[in-house]
């Protein structure tokens, strides 16, 4: 559920981490270092958006995700591939009241890399 | 150990996709460096609800966003991203309209002692108590699920009251919010005949030291011509009214046309389609811009002209307890 709230920049990070516990991966095109949204919601169900802002336009990257039904062949391991660029993010947290975002701490540098699939080939799924 | 960090670490642990992961990384870096972090923000507003909001963090981060009559744009390190200004309810990711959620609460604190923020959430006055020149007002929303306590002081010289503190006293299900306090210091007259609060301390529940300080460094009036230049959409190779000369290699991410364009170091122009569809260009729904206009004027009871005001350099400072 939470993953749906992010744009590709954040999702590519998640893919790489998830990959550590999976056994078969496929490559996907993704974007890294783009501004993405965090959805805020209070107890009454009012929602608003706080942006996690990047100072770069973003980069096309190849990410990896666990193979799903219908995917073709995958591979058993992943490793960090070619560097694509870097950016800085400033983060905002949801404020206590609707329509409020609290500008965050010092910028965080994010490095964008392609993910290379390695290891043995996994069979296609049914 | 700083309690927020502890709770944050627990929330994030084992969840790579957690929305606060980046925030935690920033806090950890700050604790490691031992230095309070400072950001500087600059805002230009006009009565139509158009604005430009610049964020700067030392030493290298800058990001500007603006909402004008036709274009809305973001200017980053190496790109300018351009959207249609009026996108209605379906705000595409990255559209600068969401920046209003960052700067408007700040403006409300400096200008109205946080009352605009309170008034948007709760309007039922439950009690008023007086003690000399001091007063306390209890306000809650219609359902009684959100309550504020406002402390203030009447100034015989200024012939008006000043907010001194605002506390959230009731908010079921939000233990992290109940008890948050904002202390308003250093009220002073502004050039337009109103008043501005120069310093606001923000406290989390149960804490005796502020976790953040907001400083208003100044507010000045700018001309219509200057404002027009300030919110003009930046173009590669042109001179921006605030940042100066822009590089010719600046990438233009044009969400209206659905493409990104840039000129490389060899002078070759590149054009690529964007993967996602262009944003909608108009909508009959009420936009953020219209909402901003309403709040701006309803809050300006002083009657003075608040035209092209430049709230210069609102600085935040976070005070962390190092573990």
CB-CB contact of B60 with A107 (8 Å): yes
A124 falls within a domain: no
How far is residue B198's CA from residue B296's CA, in Å, rounded to a whole number? Answer: 19
In which domain, by residue range, is A44 found? 2-119
Task: For A7-36, write each residue's pLDDT tens digit.
Answer: 222 223 333 444 345 588 899 999 999 999
Give Cβ neighbours of residue A70 (< 8 Å, ≥ 6 apart): A125
Q: Find out whether the peptide bond into B7 is cis, omega within 30 degrees of 0.
A: no
Read off the pLDDT band of B193 (50, 70, 90): confident
* Bridge-based pairing state of the strands A59-66 and B134-140: unpaired
Cross-chain residue pair A57–B251, CB shorter than 8 Å: yes
Chain B nearest-CA residue for A87: B77
B79 phi, psi to nearest 5 deg: -155, 160
**Distance (Å) from the C-alpha of residue B271 to the closest C-alpha of chain A?**
14
Lowest mean pLDDT among B33-37, B88-92, B93-97, B197-201: B33-37
Q: Give the span between the Cα atoms of B277 and B116, in whole angstroms.
A: 37
Dist. CA B50–CA B231, nearest whole Å: 8
Q: What is the mean pLDDT of chain B?
A: 79
Tokens (6 digits) for B263: 């000129």
CB contact under 8 A, A93 and B23: yes
Instruction: Please answer yes or no on whether A97 and B120 come within 8 Å at the CB atom.
Output: yes
Question: How many domains, in total, are found in chain A?
Answer: 1
* B225-254: average pLDDT: 95
Express each pLDDT in B270-323 by its tens digit. Answer: 999 987 644 433 332 222 332 222 222 222 222 222 333 444 444 444 433 333
Confidence (pLDDT) at B229: 94
Higher pLDDT: B259 or B30? It is B259
Strand partners, A27: A64
Task: Give just the sign of the alpha carbon dihedral B298, B301, B307, B310.
Answer: negative
**What is the structure's pLDDT at A66?**
87
pLDDT 10s digits, B199-209: 998 888 888 88
A 10 A CB-CB count for B14 gives 7
Q: What's the token pair of residue B237?
A: 């190779």
- In this structure, is residue A82 part of a structural domain? yes
Taking the domains of chain B in order of start, what are their residue ranges? Answer: 1-35, 36-225+283-318
C-alpha span between B15 and B72 (Å, rounded): 34
Residues in chain B, overall count: 323
Is A126 contained in some domain?
Answer: no
pLDDT given at position B284? 26
Task: Let me know: does B214 contact B106? Beta carbons within 8 Å.
Answer: yes
Distance (Å, whole) CA B98 – CA A101: 9
Cβ distance A87 to B253 less than 8 Å, yes or no, reads: no
3-state secondary structure of B35: coil
Strand partners, A39: A49
Asked whether the beta carbons of A111 and A86 are under 8 A apart, the reply is yes
Residue A86 lies in a domain: yes
Mean pLDDT of B21-38: 71
- Whole-angstrom distance, CA of residue B233 vs CA of residue A7: 25
In DSSP notation, A74-102 reads EEEEEEEEEEEEEEEEE-EEE-SSTT-EE
**CA B143/CA B21 separation, integer angstroms:** 34
- CB distance A32 to A64 below 8 Å: no
Greater confidence (B11 vs B236) lies with B236
Asked if A101 and B104 come within 8 Å (Cβ–Cβ), the reply is no
> What is the pLDDT averaged over residues B54-73?
90
**pLDDT (mean) for B82-97:** 84
Of the listed ranges B13-27, B41-55, B180-194, B242-256, the least confidently predicted one is B13-27
Q: Are β-strands B251-254 and B244-245 bridged in parallel, bridged antiparallel, or unpaired? A: unpaired
Residue B241: per-residue pLDDT: 95
What's the pLDDT score for residue B14? 79
- What does the pLDDT read at residue A19? 39
How far are the Cα atoms of B64, B155, B286 from residue B87, in angstroms, in the given order? 19, 44, 10
The nearest CA of chain A is from the CA of B125 a distance in Å of 18
Percent of chain B surpassing pLDDT 90: 43
pLDDT tens digits, one per residue of B34-51: 666 778 889 998 888 899
- Find where tokens 């930046």 sit: B234
Interface A–B counts its CB contacts (< 8 A) at: 140
Task: Check B30 against A105: CB less than 8 A apart.
Answer: yes
pLDDT at A124: 59
pLDDT at B318: 42
Burial of A55 from C-beta contacts in 10 A (0-12 / 13-18 / 19+): buried
Q: How many CB atoms lie within 10 A of CB B206?
A: 8
Q: For residue range B103-126, list pLDDT tens digits in order.
A: 999 889 998 999 988 888 888 999
Q: Which residues pair with B299 in a beta bridge?
A: none
Angle between helices B3-12 and B21-33 (to 10 degrees): 140
Q: What's the gap between Cα B304 and its chain centre?
A: 23
Distances (CA, A) of B18 to A14, A20, B22, B135, B173: 9, 17, 9, 43, 20
pLDDT digits (tens, 9 = 90+) for A47-99: 999 999 999 999 999 998 888 888 888 898 888 889 999 999 988 888 888 89
In the prediction, which pLDDT does B109 show? 92
Q: CA of B80 to nearest chain A CA: how many angstroms apart?
A: 8
The tokens of A102 are what? 């609290």
pLDDT for A10 equals 29
Considering only alpha carbons, which residue of chain A is nearest residue B62?
Answer: A55
Within chain B, residue ranges assigned H as helices are 3-12, 21-33, 100-112, 115-121, 224-230, 288-299
Query: What's the rounded mean pLDDT across residues B257-276?
Result: 90
């Amino acid at each position: 559920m939470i993953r749906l709230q992010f744009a590709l920049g954040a999702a590519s990070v998640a893919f790489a981490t998830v990959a550590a516990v999976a056994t078969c991966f496929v490559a996907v095109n993704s974007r890294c270092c783009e501004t993405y949204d965090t959805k805020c919601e209070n107890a009454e169900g009012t929602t608003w958006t706080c942006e996690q802002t990047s100072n770069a336009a973003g980069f096309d990257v190849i990410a990896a995700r666990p193979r799903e039904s219908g995917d073709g062949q995958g591979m058993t391991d992943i490793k960090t591939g070619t560097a694509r660029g870097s950016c800085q993010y400033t983060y905002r947290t949801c404020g206590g009241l609707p329509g409020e975002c609290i500008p965050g701490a010092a910028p965080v540098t994010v490095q964008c890399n392609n993910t290379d699939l390695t290891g043995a080939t996994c069979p296609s799924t049914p | 150990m700083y309690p927020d960090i502890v709770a944050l670490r627990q929330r994030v642990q084992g969840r790579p996709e957690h929305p606060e992961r980046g925030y935690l990384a920033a806090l950890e870096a700050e604790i490691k460096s031992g230095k309070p972090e400072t950001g500087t923000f600059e805002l230009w507003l006009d009565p139509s609800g158009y604005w430009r909001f610049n964020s700067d963090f030392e030493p290298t981060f800058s990001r500007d966003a603006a909402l004008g009559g036709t274009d809305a744009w973001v200017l980053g390190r190496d790109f300018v991203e351009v959207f249609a200004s009026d996108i209605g309810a379906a705000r595409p990711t990255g559209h600068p309209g969401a920046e209003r959620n960052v700067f408007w609460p700040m403006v409300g604190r400096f200008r109205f002692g946080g009352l605009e923020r309170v008034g948007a959430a709760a309007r039922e006055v439950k009690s008023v108590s007086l003690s000399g020149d001091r007063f306390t007002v209890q306000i809650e929303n219609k359902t009684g699920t959100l309550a504020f306590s406002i402390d203030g002081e009447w100034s015989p010289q200024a012939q008006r009251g000043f907010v001194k503190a605002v506390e959230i006293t009731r908010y079921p299900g939000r233990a992290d919010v109940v008890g948050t306090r904002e202390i308003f210091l250093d009220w002073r007259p502004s050039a337009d005949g109103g008043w501005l609060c120069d310093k606001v301390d923000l406290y989390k529940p149960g804490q005796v030291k502020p976790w953040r300080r907001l400083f208003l460094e100044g507010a000045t009036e700018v001309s219509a011509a200057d404002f027009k230049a300030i919110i003009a959409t930046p173009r590669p190779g042109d001179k921006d009214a605030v940042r100066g000369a822009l590089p010719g290699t600046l990438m233009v991410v044009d969400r209206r046309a659905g493409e990104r364009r840039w000129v490389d170091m060899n002078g070759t122009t590149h054009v690529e389609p964007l993967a996602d569809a262009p944003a909608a260009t108009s909508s009959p729904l009420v936009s953020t811009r219209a909402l901003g206009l309403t709040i701006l004027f309803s809050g300006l009871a002083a009657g003075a002209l608040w035209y092209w005001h430049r709230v210069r350099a609102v600085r935040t400072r976070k005070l962390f307890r190092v573990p």
